[in-house]
C-alpha cells in the first residue's frame, strides 16, 4: 500500500506511539519522550487505536497542552497503526516508542546521532526490565539482553520496533510495514531494509525500561504469539528459516525439537501400552530434551554471570514452558493453514486487557 507523505521538514524528530489500552504507563511514557527533546524540534504523533481504558482522556490532555497530535487508528493491528503514524510524520527521522516503553535520558540523542550516517536506516536502543520486575519479566528481559549482547560488534539484520529510530525515506521506499503480519512485522521490515542495502544497528547506550506483560499466563500467551508470528514471517521469508541475529538458529530449533521429543514420547507410550518395545523412542526423546536443557542452561549461566543477574539460572524451566507455547503455536498455525484460513495480525498479537482488574489478574498469573 502506498500513499504520499506530507512535506518533510529538514530538521527535527517525530515520535510515533501507537496506543491501545495503554493507560497504565502512558503518562510516564509521554513524559519520558518530552524530556528527550532538548534543542530538537519534537513532534509526537499518538495513534489512538481503540481499547476500553482511559488512554483517550490522557492523550486528549497532552494534546490540549500542545504536546502531541492524535491520529485516529485504523484498528487493524499494530503494523497498520504504525503506518498511520509514520505517514503523518513531518520530520525525516521517526522514533517509534511503544506505550509500555519508558525512555532513559539521552535515548533520542544517541539514536538520532547514529542515523547521521546516511547508510543507516534504523537504530535500536537497549531494553531494560523494571527494577521491581517479577521473575517472568526478568527472564524475558535478560534473555533479550543476552541476545543483543552477542551482536554488539557488527551491524544486525533485525531491529525491534518500540525502541527504535527509523529513517522515513527508507521505510517509504519499501512500502512501510506489512499490515498482514502480527508479531514479526518488525523482522519483516528489517529484512526488506537490508535487502535494499541499508544498515541496521543496535545502540546499547540508548536505554529504555520495557514494562513487559507479567505473570505466567501473560508470558505464555505472548510467547505463543511470538511463535505464531514467526511462522507467518518464515512463510514470507523462506530464507529466514534459520532465524536472524536476534533470534539465532538454536532458538529457532527449540520448537521443532521439543515437538519431536513430545511426539516420540507419545508414540513410545502408545507402543508400551500395546506391549511393544519402546525404549529406543524414549531414549531419543530424553536425548533431545537433554540437549535443549543443556543449551538453555549454558545460555542462562553465561547471561547470569555476564550481567550479574540470577534470573539467568531460571532460563531452563521458563524456556521449556516457552517451547511448549511455541509448539502450541505450530499446531494452531498448521491447522489454520490446512483449512485455508487467511493470515491475520490478531492470530498472533493480542492487546493488553483494558480494566484494572484484568491487569491485576495478568500480573498474578
Q: Does residue 158 have a pLDDT over 80?
A: yes
Taking the C-alpha atoms of residue 222 and residue 350, their distance in angstroms, rounded to an integer, is: 8
Confidence of residue 360 (pLDDT cuts 50, 70, 90): low
What the block records as the C-alpha cell of 219 is 508470558
Taking the C-alpha atoms of residue 150 and residue 355, their distance in angstroms, rounded to an integer, is: 39
What is the arithmetic mean of pLDDT over 59-87? Answer: 96
What pLDDT is recorded for position 7? 43
What the block records as the C-alpha cell of 147 is 541476545
Taking the C-alpha atoms of residue 337 and residue 345, their distance in angstroms, rounded to an integer, is: 14
Per-domain boundaries in the chain? 13-215, 249-364
Pick the CATH number of 13-215 from 3.40.190.10, 3.40.50.80, 3.50.50.60, 3.90.550.10: 3.90.550.10
Q: Does residue 2 have a pLDDT over 80?
A: no
Lowest average pLDDT, out of 67-81, 257-271, 323-337, 345-359, goes to 345-359
Taking the C-alpha atoms of residue 65 and residue 67, their distance in angstroms, rounded to an integer, is: 6
Exposed / middle / buried, residue 85 (Cβ in 10 Å: 0-12, 13-18, 19+): buried
Taking the C-alpha atoms of residue 45 and residue 33, their distance in angstroms, rounded to an integer, is: 11
Per-residue pLDDT tens digits for 236-246: 999 999 999 99
122: enclosing H helix or E strand? strand 120-128
In the numeric block, the cell 525491534 is attached to 160
Taking the C-alpha atoms of residue 187 and residue 240, their distance in angstroms, rounded to an integer, is: 10
Q: Where are the alpha helices (DSSP H) in 203-339?
A: 216-236, 249-273, 279-307, 315-338
Taking the C-alpha atoms of residue 73 and residue 68, their distance in angstroms, rounded to an integer, is: 15
In the numeric block, the cell 511455541 is attached to 326
Taking the C-alpha atoms of residue 225 and residue 3, their distance in angstroms, rounded to an integer, is: 30
Q: Helix, strand, or coil here: 93?
A: strand
Tell me the pLDDT of the chain averaged across its residues.
91
User: C-alpha angle 254/256/261, rounded to 5°?
Assistant: 90
What the block records as the C-alpha cell of 311 is 534470573
User: Bridge-partner residues for 94, per DSSP?
Assistant: 14, 166
Lowest average pLDDT, out of 150-159, 207-216, 348-357, goes to 348-357
What the block records as the C-alpha cell of 344 is 491475520
Q: Shortest CA distance to 256 belongs to which of 226, 279, 288, 282?
A: 288
User: With contact defined as beta carbons under 8 Å apart, do 255 and 243 qualify?
Assistant: no
How many H helices and E strands in the chain?
A: 12, 8
Per-residue pLDDT tens digits for 166-186: 999 999 999 999 999 999 999
Taking the C-alpha atoms of residue 199 and residue 144, their distance in angstroms, rounded to an integer, is: 21
Per-residue pLDDT tens digits for 7-58: 444 468 999 999 999 999 999 999 999 999 887 889 999 999 988 899 999 9
Amino acid at each position: 500500500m502506498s500513499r504520499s507523505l506530507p512535506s518533510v521538514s529538514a530538521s527535527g524528530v517525530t515520535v510515533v506511539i501507537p496506543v491501545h489500552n495503554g493507560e497504565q504507563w502512558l503518562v510516564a511514557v509521554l513524559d519520558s519522550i518530552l524530556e528527550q527533546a532538548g534543542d530538537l524540534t519534537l513532534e509526537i504523533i499518538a495513534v489512538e487505536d481503540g481499547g476500553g481504558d482511559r488512554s483517550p482522556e490522557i492523550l486528549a490532555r497532552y494534546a490540549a497542552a500542545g504536546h502531541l497530535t492524535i491520529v485516529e487508528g485504523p484498528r487493524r493491528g499494530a503494523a497498520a497503526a504504525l503506518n498511520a503514524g509514520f505517514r503523518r510524520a513531518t520530520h525525516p527521522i521517526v522514533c517509534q516508542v511503544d506505550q509500555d516503553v519508558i525512555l532513559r535520558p539521552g535515548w533520542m540523542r544517541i539514536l538520532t546521532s547514529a542515523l547521521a550516517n546516511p547508510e543507516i536506516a534504523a537504530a535500536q536502543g537497549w531494553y531494560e526490565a523494571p527494577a521491581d520486575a517479577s521473575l517472568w519479566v526478568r527472564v524475558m528481559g535478560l534473555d533479550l539482553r543476552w541476545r543483543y549482547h552477542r551482536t554488539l560488534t557488527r551491524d544486525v539484520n533485525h531491529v525491534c520496533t518500540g525502541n527504535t529510530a527509523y529513517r522515513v525515506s527508507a521505510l517509504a521506499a519499501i512500502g512501510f510495514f506489512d499490515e498482514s503480519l502480527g508479531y514479526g512485522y518488525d523482522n519483516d521490515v528489517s529484512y526488506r531494509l537490508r535487502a535494499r542495502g541499508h544498515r541496521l544497528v543496535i545502540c546499547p547506550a540508548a536505554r529504555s525500561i520495557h514494562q513487559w506483560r507479567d505473570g505466567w499466563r501473560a508470558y505464555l500467551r505472548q510467547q505463543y504469539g511470538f511463535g505464531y508470528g514467526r511462522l507467518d514471517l518464515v512463510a514470507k521469508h523462506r530464507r529466514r528459516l534459520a532465524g536472524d541475529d536476534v533470534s539465532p538458529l538454536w532458538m529457532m530449533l527449540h520448537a521443532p525439537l521439543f515437538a519431536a521429543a513430545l511426539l516420540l514420547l507419545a508414540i513410545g507410550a502408545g507402543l508400551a501400552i500395546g506391549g511393544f518395545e519402546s525404549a529406543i523412542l524414549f531414549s531419543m526423546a530424553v536425548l533431545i530434551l537433554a540437549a535443549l536443557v543443556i543449551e538453555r542452561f549454558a545460555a542462562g549461566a553465561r547471561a547470569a554471570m555476564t550481567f550479574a543477574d540470577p534470573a539467568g539460572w531460571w532460563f531452563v524451566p521458563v524456556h521449556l514452558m516457552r517451547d511448549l507455547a511455541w509448539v502450541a503455536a505450530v499446531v494452531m498455525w498448521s491447522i489454520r493453514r490446512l483449512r485455508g484460513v487467511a493470515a491475520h495480525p490478531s492470530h498472533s498479537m493480542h492487546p493488553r486487557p483494558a480494566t484494572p482488574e484484568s491487569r491485576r489478574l495478568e500480573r498474578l498469573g
